[in-house]
Chain A
């Protein structure tokens, strides 16, 4: 499939049009969506209207925008005015948001064409997209396997050439892990770089919106288009979007990159091979690879599965059958709240709400939540110590290639371990990228993860680009 960058060039020059690009995207969706369950909703009318507006700008000789005519898939936990937004939950079925997320507004202003809403694990809680109330998404590379999660639909849309780019959200790895399992680029930006206004909250201190793309340059262009301060999100960084795409070819000469044992140990051999292969490529490109251990990372999973559920238990208290979505009638309001939540939430969401409620409850607060907050500080300090010595870190994104549908869904703890290498970056609020690198079992893609300090996206993209070139992309 044509890259986003090429699409923009073609649309702007008249070699193609936004409508032609949209036709191609809708055709690809029609061809495989029944099989793969990538899109929960395709907004053909809205997409056509936006494509017409872009084509009209080109005809008039106006600037059609940095993403002119590029079809994009939107994870269905991002609000788009008037378009069903479900979080893959029965509790929001039928809800049409009265406003759009800031990222949607910025995409439209940049000339991108949102084509529809993609499947996810309910409320972004999961690592396989099997926790969707609307059925699992299947991996386009092997439909007997999961695409990863929670942004599995968005990753699959790019992998299946339905759209060249997509948006997801990453709370503990929900962009990077599905990107790895689907063989595409996935970016978890620095916390606050992208406004969360209109992202339905899961764990607010960890959630961050980010890009999926086929190549590094497209990821950089997309991130530039959506980043930058937004007064509607008081946690958004008070600064304009950084320049990223101009630095994609900066290379890694002279950079020091830490190969972190704790982000590799425990992974399957083929994943370990990929990380070591990537280290060699970066070394050949002029970087110095420093072997290091950051044992604090091993505590990340424990801290995360206290902190994220704690925040979720509070954030999801709003689904009470009063203001939006499902209501199950009952005699009084408390019974109505309880009947609604019991019918509306799936098992994984219930697990996390109860876990968080427990961790925050009297008598357990200090032992679990309080302790996890301190481990989060340890994690931040451990990253900071590492970045005094090196510019970036390298490790695996996830321990294995895409696993079989159904293989982990009844064992939550096994599923949670999929996120063991991605969680530390969410806890520190820093940046990381998953890059497809190498091939594993059954010809499925393996991936590596590059991690950097806050605001290091340009450096991460430059390193990711070196790996991409080595893979012949």
Chain B
């Protein structure tokens, strides 16, 4: 397993947000976590990335214990993060934002090819290299957040709500790019409220409810489950 989460427990302030979660992500997969608002999806991602500390349980990445590690150390190990709400640096240019994404990379050649890769995936960003990130549209900021996370050449990408608040054409584009990035060999753990798109793009999925995994399996099977159809896909 590339990423394993075992019996993870996290308090978010006074709220018992994760009540013993187990998930696995294998190399090369796209795995999505779906669930309603407040189910604990973002807390799970924040606990994996060390932004929030867990009270119990373990997270391992390539057999190394990374429980409660500092986020900045995680980047060096090969984990890229595109956080909820995009969190770009508003007063830095697009290019500077990407340069920050490659902060841990010292090889000039590698940084160069990082820019090329991101600009190839998102040509829109190339047109805006000298523009301040705060002046970009929501969709462009989302591209930048994903591109920035790719600059460190990660083995796994953690994506938190990449489609949130985007126009439908951007949603399709972002999901196409996620599949493309996966084809380039990057494992992906995706958190989404847009269960339709997430399940259609993923290999496997976990349904998170009230801080617990309520269902897991192949994305296709999950998408066909009557309970999921009713609760998350607006069908049935």
Q: Is chain B found bound to chain A in the same assembly?
A: no
Task: Give the A-binding residues of B (Cβ under 8 A).
Answer: none
